[in-house]
Structure 1
Amino acid sequence: MGDFPKVGEYMTRVPKSIGFDQSIAKAQEVMRELRIRHLPVLKGGKLVGVLTDRDINLVLTFKDVNPETLCVDEAFTPDPYFATPDTLLKEVANRMAEGKFGCSIVLDHNKLVGIFTEIDAYRALAGCLKED
């Protein structure tokens, strides 16, 4: 058996992120345009959390919530699961499955370099199952 693949081989590189002080409406616009469900949240260039489509849908169920004035910092999930590009793919996949996480943020020396989502996991699985 050869080397186990690493998450850096399958992650989405340099993902779109959003500032913690941006509006939920802006986050919705970015997600819709890019057809994504997860946005790393940055404050001063540092990762502070992740905003998901589920986070947005939940906060919008509250009465009198205006997505134009509500900021990301009032809806995001702090301290998300993260890995490094060298973390073994099987370790990330296991942790995501155990925690029921839709993504893993990928950091290199505390800098956002990627995101590994369920879609990336499907691509990795397809690559592993591909016949030579």
Structure 2
Amino acid sequence: MSTKLELPIQEFTTPYPVTAREDSSIEELLDIVKNIKVRHIPIMSDGKVIGIVSERDLRIASALSTREKFLVRAEDLMTPNPITFKGDTSIEDVITEMAEKKIGSVLVADEKGDLKGIFTVTDALDVLIEILRGKR
């Protein structure tokens, strides 16, 4: 008999994720990944999330010519309308959707849709470790 893990996602979310503007260059995004050591960057426009750029997207963009890199902006690379959950969504529902859709991160927002955090596969592994060690 299994029981559903009702822990809210907000307990495991990285708050206040590093974000970038839709007009950010590839170089700016690469600097964020390298210097801040994140793998997913929410892209913002007028205070709202419009997409997300992953480290993988940036690796692919690295194959562009120097001229192309100069012209490409975050909005050209991003995945639009990233999957977003409210903070009280159960961890099990979030992790299940991430596994089914094979995605590395989801965003967490409040009732108004304002970005509150990011939840990644690494965060999911941290949850698993806590459960295995009996801390949850």
TM-score of the two chains, using structure 2 as the length reference: 0.89
* Rounded Cα–Cα distance in structure 2 between residues aligned with 1:21 and 1:48: 12
3-state SS, counterpart of residue 131 of structure 1: coil
Decide whether the 8 Å contact of 2:5 with 2:92 is kept in 1: no
SS in 2 for 1:8: helix
- In proportion to residue count, which structure has more helix? 2
Q: How much has 1:21 moved relative to structure 2?
A: 0.7
SS across alignment from 1:104:
strand
CA distance in 2, matches of 1:100, 1:11: 18
Shift of 1:34: 1.4
Task: Give the corresponding residue for 1:75.
Answer: 77
Instruction: Please tell me the residue identity of whatever aligns with 2:45.
Output: K
Moved over 4 A (4+): none
1:36 corresponds, among 35, 38, 50, to: 38
Gap change, CA 1:64 and 1:122, over 3 Å in 2? same
Pick aligned residue for 2:18 from 10, 16, 19 = 16
| Identity in percent | 27
Unaligned runs of 5+ in 2: none
Could you tell me how far apart the structure 2 residues matched to 1:100 and 1:88 are? 18
> d(CA) in 2 for partners of 1:8 and 1:57?
30
Match in the other structure for 1:99: 101
Give aligned pairs, total. Answer: 132
